[in-house]
Structure 1
Amino acid sequence: MNLEALRAPLSKDLRPLSVFLIDKGVAHQISEQQGEQVVWVMDRESAVLVRAFYERFLAGELEIGAIAGESRAQDRPAHPKAFLPVTLLLIVASIIGAGLTSLSPELSSVLSYYQLTAVDNGYLLSEAPGQYWRWFTPVFLHFGFLHITFNALWVWELGRRIEFQQGSLWLLLLTVAVGVASNLAQVWYTPGQLFGGMSGVIYGYLGYIVVWQRFAPVPAYELPKGIVIFMLAWLFICMVGFTEMVGLGAIANAAHLGGLVSGIVVAVAAIVLRTLTAR
């Protein structure tokens, strides 16, 4: 933010204007300088928009207060009592997938990327041409109580924020896109190995929220820095093989990284599209 859009006296409450600008996708910052409030933007076009909105507000042509009230209602942090059908459906489906995994490999084969065929010494994994649902459904497989518990908690913590802020359909589309990307990344990196879990999707949620909050901040996407640092640190720890060294088993690191990258890409694309359509 290096371009000054306008100055206003300290007595003027610019919070409603700020909420309105966020709603319109105009990235900005407000600071105090030489006894005045200064609104900073990224480019000249945004500066022109900010001045135009402010002048209309001063002239009584724009009811920023009413619009800001609506925006605050839309941008409030996700509340546990909100109805979040997709978030809940993902958790329930993951619990069912964990149950299938624990009961028998044959049942989990319905959701896994590879088909499992019983042989004398175990199971043979083979690809299933044309069964494209397998690109996504491994996200519901979970191996053990800790695996499903950990992932369900993070789906609830991150997924509900996205569904609350941007709607159930958007969360569903984002989940499918990130799930497919993370699964195919894992298949490419370690072909012929059984894998599963929502971890790749969860890292996709993380990347999406962090990028969105950086360029188009909303209260629902305010994550404590400790959470972001912990998850990125855990990603690094897993990638260097620490979990295998201490006997916790192999981790689908490519799925984690693929999910994170794809979540970032979707967020950038969504923000750019929103900015273009708002002009």
Structure 2
Amino acid sequence: MQKLLVTRNAEMMKRLHTYLQRRGIPVTVSEHGNQLELWLTQSSYSALAKDLINEFKADPDAAEAELESAPAATQPAKVSASMTQQLLQQAGLVTIIFAALVSLIFALLNTQLATAVFDSLRISDTFTDLPWNQPWRFLTPVLLHFSLLHFLFNVFWWWYLGGRFERFYGSTYLLIALVFCGVFSNVMQFMVSGPYFGGLSGVVYGLFGLAVVVSWQRPRHPLFLPMGLIAFMLVWLLLGYTDLLWVSVANTAHSAGLIAGLVLGVALRYIEYFRKKKQIS
């Protein structure tokens, strides 16, 4: 992520954001206090983005008119990109690598190696002992998925929430969120049900809770979630505690992951607050 512009002029920012997107530049707008920030999500577009911004600032009307009159074939619009390119643009390196790893494990769980893979990745071999001598097991259950629907649901939300989070906050923060939410949700689920569980749902709900907190009352924040989506995730969480679903759900992992994400979200907002306060002083 690279910050390109800061302004209080909402109308100008809206026009510039639209102009750059129509030029095929991957940008997003965030809100901090009474200021709007324009961010570039892919550094490879940096030089072109700066040139276009300067061109737009010199004469916004002329820049927009030139765009309207340009032949459609000469505009590097996103719509001409392949579906794969568009998907990759929505994620960072950690998001992509971890999604690939989860996919690989799911494929292996549907082969003759399934038992060996499960035994090596589950949190513990007993119902009482945490794996202090094999600490990676605190996290590895997030790689396990036992049905196609379970796998697709979690990978989709990991890509959607994790990708947006990584693009805005960076890979390090996503790794911290992954480990913290994953370990906490796994340990809580183990305490309730023993070692026979798996899934990325605790991390997904952690990222969901984190996104809600950091974007609360900040509708232009890149992680802002519409109320309908928030309602869906919460209703799905509550349905897990009923007998209405056709699958077994690791409810404790979902709830624990959500709590962990809310805590991280509060911590991140404090970090942002103190950084901003330091910059002002």
Tell me if both proteins adopt one fold, taking TM over 0.5 as the criterion: yes
Q: Paired residue for 1:144?
A: 147
Which position in structure 1 is the counterpart of 2:261? 263
Letter in 2 for 1:158: L
Q: Tell whether 2:176 aligns with 1:173.
A: yes
- Could you list the runs of 5+ residues in structure 2 that have no partner in the other structure? 1-7, 15-28, 43-85
Post-superposition Cα deviations, 1:186-220, rounded to whole Å, max 9, x if no partner, equal 11222x24111111100011100011101555442
SS of structure 2 residue aligned to 1:110: helix
Q: 2:233 aligns with which of 220, 225, 231?
A: 231
Distance 1:115 1:102, change over 3 A: farther
1:135 equivalent to 2:138? Answer yes
Please give the residue correspondences for 1:44-83 in structure 2 after superposition, counting only pairs within 5 Å: 71-74=37-40, 80-82=87-89
Sequence identity percentage = 30
1:199 correspondence with 2:209: no
Mapped partners of 2:270, 2:40: distance in 1? 21
Give the letter for the 1:114 counterpart.
Answer: S
102, 107, 110: which one pairs with 1:102?
Answer: 110
Quick one: which of 155, 158, 162 aligns to 1:155?
Answer: 158
TM-score by length of 2: 0.66
C-alpha deviation, 1:107, in angstroms = 1.9
Residue 222 of structure 2 aligns to a residue whose secondary structure is: helix
Helix, strand or coil at the partner of 1:242 = coil
Q: 2-side partners of 1:107 and 1:125: how far apart?
A: 21
For the residues of structure 2 that align with 1:203 and 1:73, how far apart are their CA atoms?
26
Matched residue, 1:184: 187
Q: Secondary structure at the match of 1:147?
A: helix
- Give the partner amino acid of 1:206: F
3-state SS of 2:146 partner: coil
Q: Tell me the equivalent position of 2:65.
A: none
Whole-Å Cα distance in 2 between the matches of residues 253 and 81 of structure 1?
A: 31
Q: 1:31 maps to which residue?
A: none
Q: CA 1:177 to 1:14, structure 2 compared with 1: closer, same or farther past 3 Å?
A: same
Question: Given residue 116 of structure 2, which amino acid in structure 1 is its aligned partner?
Answer: E
User: What amino acid sits opposite 1:189 in the alignment?
Assistant: V
Q: 1:242 aligns with which of 244, 259, 265?
A: 244
Residue matched to 1:111? 121
Aligned to 1:15: 10
Distance 1:204 1:189 in 2: 19
The one-character-per-residue Cα deviations of 1:224-253 (angstroms, maximum 9, x if unpaired) are 32221111100000012322xxxx232100
* Deviation for aligned residue 1:91: 0.9
* Aligned twin of 1:251: 249
* 2:133 partner amino acid: G
Residue aligned with 2:160, SS: helix
Q: Does the aligned pair in 2 maintain the 1:238–1:251 contact within 8 Å?
A: yes
C-alpha RMSD of the superposition:
3.0
Structure 1 pair 106–271 and aligned structure 2 pair: CA distance change class (3 A) = same
Structure number with larger C-alpha Rg: 1
Give the deviation of 1:261 after TM superposition.
Answer: 0.6
Q: TM-score, normalised by structure 1?
A: 0.67
Paired residues of 1:100 and 1:108 also in contact (CA < 8 A): no
Q: 2:96 aligns with which of 76, 88, 92?
A: 88
- The 1:109/1:159 distance shift into structure 2, 3 A limit, reads same
Say if 1:135 and 1:184, in contact at 8 Å, map to a contact too.
yes
Q: Which amino acid aligns with 2:109?
A: T
One-letter code aligned to 1:253: N
Q: 1:176 to 1:15 in 2, by over 3 A?
A: same
Runs of 5+ unmatched residues, structure 1: 1-12, 29-63, 117-123
CA contact (8 A) 2:216 2:224 kept: no
Q: Deviations over 1:56-102 (max 9, x none)?
A: xxxxxxxx8xxx6xx312489xx745361111112111112212333
- The answer to whether the 8 Å contact 1:112/1:196 transfers is yes
